Structure 1
Amino acid sequence: MFYMKKLFIAIASISLISCGTQLPEIKPDIITDSTLHDTDDPAIWVNQENTEESIVFGTDKETDGAIYAFDLNGKIIEEKTLRGMKRPNNVDVEYQVKLNDSVTTDILMFTEREREQIRLFSVPDMKPLDRGGFKVFQEKRENEWNFPMGISIYKSPKTGKAYAIVGRKNGPKTNYLQQFELVPAGDHIQFKLVREFGNFSGEKEIEAIAVDEELGYVYYSDEKVCVKKYYAEPDAGNEELSCFGKENFNRDIEGIAIATYKDGEGYILVSDQQQGTFNVFDRKTNEFLFAKNLGTTETDGCEVYTGYLNEKFPNGLFVAMNDNKNFYFYDLSKIVKAK
């Protein structure tokens, strides 16, 4: 009986460690100022001329919502913050996107769920480039099929064209996502639908979307099933390439961040929302490597940058949403090793 009791305790301990509850907590280097409502998803814009003046954008997901701009000390930059948004959900940035034959700009893009549209602004001057927004998913206005949620930008290394890849609150079992080409139109950008793709289990929803531009893949979280992988190039095929990670998550599979290093090396970091941890997968093989406890609660979105920013973040920056109206910033070397 004593032996069986010891065996049970040992098995329980192994189980707890494997699911992350015994992982040592990694403290954030910076906790941002608080938003008004409900943080959800971050994006990192790197100032190429002065990395110390880079900006972390983060959504505040409410009817009276906003895209907050934070400096690298986590302080709100009010003049860069976009207020008056109707439930902004996910956000992404891209560099040197064409406005016309002679002008390019860095861009910020996000979904505005309650207005059923995509928004697009220049960075860092925060000027609208979408003439008020672009409506999406209008073909079926019921069962939340028309509400955009996840978004990621893909800029093709092959053609230089930029694309928005957008998911929704609910939708069909196939062609759950839509991909739009960003078409230069002089002083603004137009959207052209070029592809529908992506399988959906129907179990919960698809929110987190991330693109590996260099390797040409798009990943998204089918929240109770797995991380799914497809080609990002619109003419490369719509077959599902992989469905991985199911056994490594407690329940909801959420935010995805891709840490990129030379020669295709790197990591895919994914939020295990109810477990309060992040699972780390190999960028090339998608094999599970390890989990880390970053002390966040109910994390939706996350983002990563692998280069030098300042003395506090010399090895890169990892940003995670925390369920207390804020975001946590970490020096990346606390989480993964450079490859």
Structure 2
Amino acid sequence: MKKFFLIFLLGILFYSCTDKLPTVPATVVSEKVPHDTDDPAIWVHPTDASKSIVFGTDKDTDGAIYAFNLQGKIIPDKVLKNIRYPNNIDIEYGFKMFDSTVVDIMVFTERERNQIRLFSVPDMRPLDGGGFPVFEDETNINYRRPMGVGIYKNPINQKISVIVSRKTGPKDNYLYQYELISDAEGVRSEFIRKFGKFSGVKEIEAIAIDDELGHVYCSDEGVGIRKYAADPSKGNEELAFFGNENFSEDMEGIAIAAKPNGDGWIIVSDQQKGQFNIFSRKDHHFIKAVNLGTTETDGCDLVIGFFDKKFPKGLFVAMNNQKDFYFYDLGLLGFN
């Protein structure tokens, strides 16, 4: 009898730990890529949001950056191939070139070449002369492998910089920041600081930057979410550490939904549980979890606003480990 009761209790415990919330089905599932999807980034068309593009990395030595329309179909002439293990990707708007033209830009990490890449979008024109090396002062080659990337546009001076994380590294100064500068010789990246703690447990991949509030968030996998000032002049002190009690194992991709007056949400992938945890943008308290049906999600991105009839509240995109990306109307996450 005691043995039966013990088995019964263990069964209840297992069910409670593995039971998932009801699945919210995706609005659109993208076409599949050849290797291994990782991280998406949304570019919003300036005059017709229905023509916006979702970019996503396909992680492999023979990797690529894929481009999808809002129907999830690959746009062949926007695909960048022959990328050596692209990892994370980000989009920013309004980068001023030396000739006074203004372009939107895409940055992604190319891990096997120890560099980041810079392209203008949507014309997919390289601006980096083949790539910008990162972590150059590291003598340990393993500490030079870039993973995560986020772009920060300072709302006051309009300067644009890139924050990069890596596959592994020291427990201090895990993140490096580089300013993007356009001059008569082209575009270059200039190192401006190193900062950020690392637990040493797994890795820091996901990075998301809140331009308006000037904050950078990164997922120290298996440990918690770290927050810093994105503007180097504000210092390198860790401003917050949260979320560690809300995840089954790894916290991964981060997306920020910015609302007026500092309101909004921070959405973070609970990777092994296959859910997303949602926190307050203002004070980081846990709000709720949602199950969007993806598995082993590395990266996610979102934009608030009307895109088309399928995405009237905004677009949320999450990587799925079946070599594709899931697209959702933001209203499906319970936000209006």
For Structure 1 versus Structure 2, the TM-score category normalised by the shorter chain is over 0.9
- Any conservation in 2 of the 1:143–1:170 contact (CA below 8 Å)? no
Report the CA distance between 1:236 and its aligned residue: 0.3
The answer as to 2:274 corresponding to 1:281 is no
Distance 1:216 1:209, change over 3 A: same
Deviates more, 1:233-242 or 1:180-189: 180-189
**What is residue 143 of structure 2 aligned with on the other side?**
145
- 2-structure distance, mates of 1:288, 1:16: 23
TM-score by length of 1: 0.94
SS in 2 for 1:263: helix
Report percent identity of matched pairs. Answer: 54
- 2-structure distance, mates of 1:104, 1:187: 17
Report the CA distance between 1:185 and its aligned residue: 2.1
The answer as to 2:43 corresponding to 1:45 is yes
Report the CA distance between 1:293 and its aligned residue: 0.6
The answer as to 2:133 corresponding to 1:110 is no
- 1-structure distance, mates of 2:181, 2:222: 35
- 2-structure distance, mates of 1:270, 1:5: 38
**What is residue 239 of structure 1 aligned with on the other side?**
237
- 2-structure distance, mates of 1:20, 1:292: 14
- 1-structure distance, mates of 2:318, 2:18: 17
**What is residue 129 of structure 2 aligned with on the other side?**
131
Which of 202, 218, 223 is the aligned partner of 1:204? 202
Deviates more, 1:237-246 or 1:92-101: 92-101
**What is residue 154 of structure 1 aligned with on the other side?**
152
SS in 2 for 1:304: strand
Distance 1:143 1:102, change over 3 A: closer
Which of 292, 315, 318 is the aligned partner of 2:316? 318
Report the CA distance between 1:246 and its aligned residue: 0.4
**What is residue 62 of structure 2 aligned with on the other side?**
64
**What is residue 29 of structure 1 aligned with on the other side?**
27
- 2-structure distance, mates of 1:20, 1:189: 49
**What is residue 163 of structure 2 aligned with on the other side?**
165
The letter for the 2-side match of 1:112 is: E
The letter for the 1-side match of 2:271 is: Q
Report the CA distance between 1:12 and its aligned residue: 3.9
- 2-structure distance, mates of 1:148, 1:20: 33
Report the CA distance between 1:191 and its aligned residue: 0.5
- 2-structure distance, mates of 1:189, 1:265: 35
- 2-structure distance, mates of 1:267, 1:282: 5
Report the CA distance between 1:187 and its aligned residue: 7.2
**What is residue 220 of structure 1 aligned with on the other side?**
218
SS in 2 for 1:333: helix
The letter for the 2-side match of 1:60 is: D
Question: What does the per-residue CA deviation read over 1:82-131, in whole Å, with 9 as the maximum and x for residues that have no partner?
Answer: 00100000000000111125111000110000011110000010000001
- 2-structure distance, mates of 1:101, 1:202: 44
Report the CA distance between 1:137 and its aligned residue: 1.2
Report the CA distance between 1:48 and its aligned residue: 1.2
Figure out how many residues of one structure are paired with residues of the other and give that number. 334
Q: Which runs of 5+ in 2 are unaligned?
A: none
- Any conservation in 2 of the 1:298–1:322 contact (CA below 8 Å)? yes
Question: What does the per-residue CA deviation read over 1:126-178, in whole Å, with 9 as the maximum and x for residues that have no partner?
Answer: 00000110111122243610100000000000110000000111111111000
SS in 2 for 1:145: helix
**What is residue 193 of structure 1 aligned with on the other side?**
191
Matches within 5 A, 1:88-107: 88-100=86-98, 102-107=100-105
Distance 1:16 1:242, change over 3 A: farther
The letter for the 2-side match of 1:325 is: K
The answer as to 2:303 corresponding to 1:308 is no
**What is residue 291 of structure 2 aligned with on the other side?**
293
Q: Which runs of 5+ in 1 are unaligned?
A: none
- 2-structure distance, mates of 1:171, 1:43: 25
Question: What does the per-residue CA deviation read over 1:41-60, in whole Å, with 9 as the maximum and x for residues that have no partner?
Answer: 00000001111110000000
Question: What does the per-residue CA deviation read over 1:277-302, in whole Å, with 9 as the maximum and x for residues that have no partner?
Answer: 10000000101111111111100000
- Any conservation in 2 of the 1:30–1:330 contact (CA below 8 Å)? yes
Q: CA RMSD in A?
A: 1.9
